[in-house]
Structure formats: C-alpha cells, structure tokens
Amino acid sequence: MNREAILHIPLSNYAYGLDETHVVFRLRTARNDIKSCILHYGDRSCRETPVIFTPLTMKIASSDDLFDYYEIELSSPYTRICYYFELSDGKTTCLYYSDEFHSETTGERSEYYQFPFNRREDIAQVPKWVNDAVVYNIFPDSFATGRRYIAKEGMRRVYRGNSTSSKNGGTICGIIDNLDYLTTLGINCIYLNPIFVAGEYHKYDLLDYFHIDPCFGTDDDFRKLVTECHKNHIRVIIDGVFNHCGWNFFAFDDVAKNGEKSAYKDWFYDLTFPVIRPDNMDDYPNYSCFGYERTMPKLNTSNPEVIHYFMKVCRYWLENFDIDGWRLDAANEIDNGFWRMFRKTAKSVKSDCLLIGEIWESAYPWLRGDQFDSSMNYDMRKNCRDFFASGRIDAAGFEDRVTKMIMRYPQQMLYAQLNVLDTHDVSRFLTLCEGNWMKFRLAVVFQMTFVGMPSIFYGDEQGIQGSVEDEYRQPMIWGNKSFFEFYRALINLRRSNVALRQGSLHTVCAEKGKYLYIFERQCETQSILVALNAGDRKEVISVLGGDEYNKCLFQEGVSGKEIGPWGFGVFENSNVKS
C-alpha cells in the first residue's frame, strides 16, 4: 500500500455539505493501489461510548495519472459526524484517521476525523438555474449596431467633460435587434463585457459605475434589453470591474489634483505624491495599477469607503435593472472581505443572483460558499487546446486533466463553472486549431457535454478566427450557416437531455498513446455516452453493440462500432427509464 499517496483534508473539497442532510467525503489514493475503501461514520455527540460507527463502501469517482479519488455521498441523520477510513490493498488493511495510519480504533472520539456541524450557513448555495444555462458572451463594441449588422467604425462621445470611445460601433440596441438570432441559437443567458461609462472601447477603464456608456446607448436602452431578454427566458450577467477604475474616475481625478489633501487618497494603492499621470504609455506610473496600465489605477478594496461605494453599485444594478448576475473582473486581486460583503449584498437583493469570478487558476479559495458561485474555467480551454487542437497530450493525459477539473471543487461549484473555449482575452480556439473545423467541433462537443455552464464567445458559432486583440475582438460576422446549425444542434442536445446538464461524469476509455476519449454522463433517469476521437486514424468504440447505448443522439464519422478520424458520437442507454 502506497501510504504516501493517501490524502484526506477535513472541511474542504474532500469533506463538504451538499445540503443539510447530505455530506460528501473523498479520499485520494495511489492509482490502482487500493482494493477497497470503506468510510466508517458515527454521531460525534452520541451518548454511547465508544461511538457506534456505520460502514459504507466508497467507490472511485475519478482517476488521474497518479491517483484514484474515492467518493461517497452520505445521507446522514447526524449533523455532527466523526469518521475514519478502512483501507485494504488485498494484502494489508489499515485504518486512517487524524492524518495517521492505525491498526485499531480508539476510544477517544475527538481523535477521529471531524465534521463538527453541517451548518446550513456553511453550505454553498448556488443558483439552481445554472444547471440549465448555456451562456453567450457578448463583447458589446463588436457585436451589432442593428439587425445582423455591425457598423465597423467607432464613435466618440463626451461624458461630463471626459472622452469615451468605441471601435466597431456595437450598441445595446444592436443586441436587442438580434435577440431573435440568440433565441434561435438556443442560448438562455448572456454575459456582457463592461457596459458602464469608460474611456476606451473595451470599457475596463471606468469613469462612472452608475450609467451606460454613451457609445453603447442609454440606461433606458439597457433596461429594455434586460426586459426583452427576460421575456425570452434569457438571463443577463454584466461585468463588474472593481479592482481598478479609469484615471478620470472622480476619486482618482481628485487625488491627482489635490494630492495628500484629497479625501480619496486612501481609495487607492501605493500612491506617491504628487500623483502624476504619465503621458507616455511606456512610462511606469507612481501608483499601483492593473498590471502596468497607467490609465487603470488600482482601488484599495479593503477601505471601508470603497467597500460602501461599490456595494451601492452592486445594489443599484440589481434593484433598478433586474440583472441576474455579475462576472467579476480580476477577482483574485481584490480583498476577500470585499467579496464576502459583495456576496451578502447581492444575495440580499436577489437570492439567485449568480457571481462569477475571473480567476484563471484554481479558484477554490473563493468557492467555499462565502464569496463566488462560479469561476471562469480557463483550464477547460487549456486542456481542450492540448488534446483537440495541438495533440500535445493523448487520451490518458486528457483524462488526467479532466479529473483534476472535476475533483478541484465541491459539486455545487463544479456544476456552476463557466466553461470557456474563447473569451475577449485570448486567441480564438478555431485559430488554435489552425482553422481545422473537424478539430474545433470536437472541442465544442466536449464543451457542450461536459459538467458546468458552456460559454460561447460571440462569433464562435460563425467561425471567427484571430490570434491578436484586433482579430479576436473583430466585428461580428453573419451568414455561416453550417457553424451556426452545428452549435444550434449541440445546444438543443444539451438542453434536451438532463444527464448532460446534471449528471455525474465518469471516464470509460482513455488509453495511453491513443486519442479516443469516451466518458459517461449519468443521473437517476438517464445515461449518456460521449465518444471523441481526436486522432487521425479509425478507432473502435468497444462499449457499443450491446443492449446499452443503442440509441444515437448525435454523431459524425461513426459507423457501427467504428469511429473515424476526428469523429464523435453521443449515445443514450435506452434501458435507463425516466
């Protein structure tokens, strides 16, 4: 038994409350090392001594290159639980508790692993609607000026003495004019990059957090957009930029003019007086910024006045415009106390408001139920790039990556992940595939059948490419019917099959040196098999041909049990009755 590989962390993603009566426990072991893993649990407050334990057999939920992850969802009458694990490799058996190996139990109940109390306040509550969400991410300047039309030229406006600009002419009314396009596509949630008053076309250099940028339209235009979206059963998420502002934001402008006498000098990080706004973009400013962007000074989000100001912003858009969520920019650079207050504020106004943090790495510290509901899953993009686009990893390597995504978070947050292939910050995925449609569509099939919320960046469904900013944020194109219909069919597939939205995920086939990856999505009423061949040769889907998975829902390149190069198939087990 490889004891060095065994890991359990209490009160973490290895032990968490799913709801008030269900608790999930996980244990990591070396891959293919353990023959059996049994959870023994008992009431840590029971009157009997010793504690009476109940055994439950755990199963492998997922595996990566090095480890197996055992898991069990416990339905317990106890709110206070003590527990230990019994492990056997077929030769030796040991007990594991208090991060130590033992040959026998102890009479000291406090020495076992503890789940002190399954407090409802500590259970991560994620809006239920995320399970059914398919998101369409719109970069407002680049989407539409009118119906199936984008001006492809910018404009300039003056807002309270400051210049604002756009590049491609997209407007909020343009989005309204194309809601029929979005409903036909089948999405049911839009996420808008920044729309508040700001200097540059991207709108991440904020001037006013309480109004729509005049290049995009008016506050009433946005109110109409939300109303029309809700009529069409589309939710609306907007971008919140609270890590930094624009250098003409009223508070920073006051600091630049009044120096140390400014009432807002504590609103910003690491100011050196006098504050100088450098004219040359290559010069380093004497204040902290977002990166080294001199026009985006960093806000001090631990300052009580700053917190109070942005809680007003949070409430304003929820109360007055009925938005459905916030995507939170540069979230990992902001004070955690700020986010805890932001969550309380948002949820007090709209309990099913969705909070998505922009965090490119593991977001677990922010996804424990007290800050965000979700994060942007850039690992989805990276892993799909390395398997489908470049072939850097084989199917076994892809399984390793998939497992890491699945086991990283509690279940509630896993199913709320915003799964991206493209965003406004990265090269288009079709470009990573060197324009190869067959590779690209495999990644899209995976995105639409994986756990979490798929997010389509505007124009993905039209075949937009680009590797630099002007290209991947280029004006929307219209008329690529084949791409559009492919996306439409996949979205319909996802929305029509509950297992693809709410089911667990298990890898079925992922061999070293091969590029056929097969996985199952299963729930109580449905079981679906997804086969993806990311290689240039035929493979055999060995699990086909029997009574199981005898109903094909969607495929390209599948004939009998064979799957051609870059082919895919989605199959339902018709023996599972709803």
Calpha distance 396→292 (Å, rounded): 40
| Residue type (1 letter), 110 | S
Q: Coil, strand or helix: which one is 23?
A: strand
Question: Residue 99, Cβ neighbours under 10 Å: how many?
Answer: 11
Smallest CA-to-CA distance from 168 within 194, 142, 199 is with: 142
DSSP one-letter code for 10: T
**Beta strand extents in 64-186 (DSSP E only):** 67-75, 81-88, 93-97, 100-102, 113-115, 135-138, 156-159, 162-165
Calpha distance 375→364 (Å, rounded): 9
Calpha distance 204→298 (Å, rounded): 12
Annotated active-site positions, please?
Answer: 329, 358
Give the bridge partners for 136, in sequence order.
Answer: 190, 456
∠ CA 529-532-535 to the nearest 5 degrees? 155
Give the bridge partners for 70, in sequence order.
Answer: 27, 60
φ/ψ bin of 259: left (φ > 0), alpha (ψ from -120 to 50), beta (otherwise): left
Between the alpha carbon of residue 501 and those of residues 39, 350, 550, the distances in Å are 29, 24, 21
Structure tokens at 53: 């334990």
**Which residues does 532 contact at the CB level (< 8 Å), separation at least 6?**
388, 442, 445, 446, 516, 517, 518, 568
Q: In 77-167, which ranges are continuous DSSP H helix?
A: 140-143
∠ CA 305-309-314 to the nearest 5 degrees? 145
Structure tokens at 340: 């805890």
Residue 118: Cβ-neighbour burial (10 angstroms; 0-12, 13-18, 19+): buried
Calpha distance 110→118 (Å, rounded): 17
Calpha distance 326→342 (Å, rounded): 10
Calpha distance 44→289 (Å, rounded): 50
* Buried-exposed string 419-438: b where 16+ CB fall within 10 A, e elsewhere: bbbbbbebbbbbbbbeeeeb
Calpha distance 336→364 (Å, rounded): 13
Structure tokens at 486: 């492919």
Give the bridge partners for 97, in sequence order.
Answer: 100
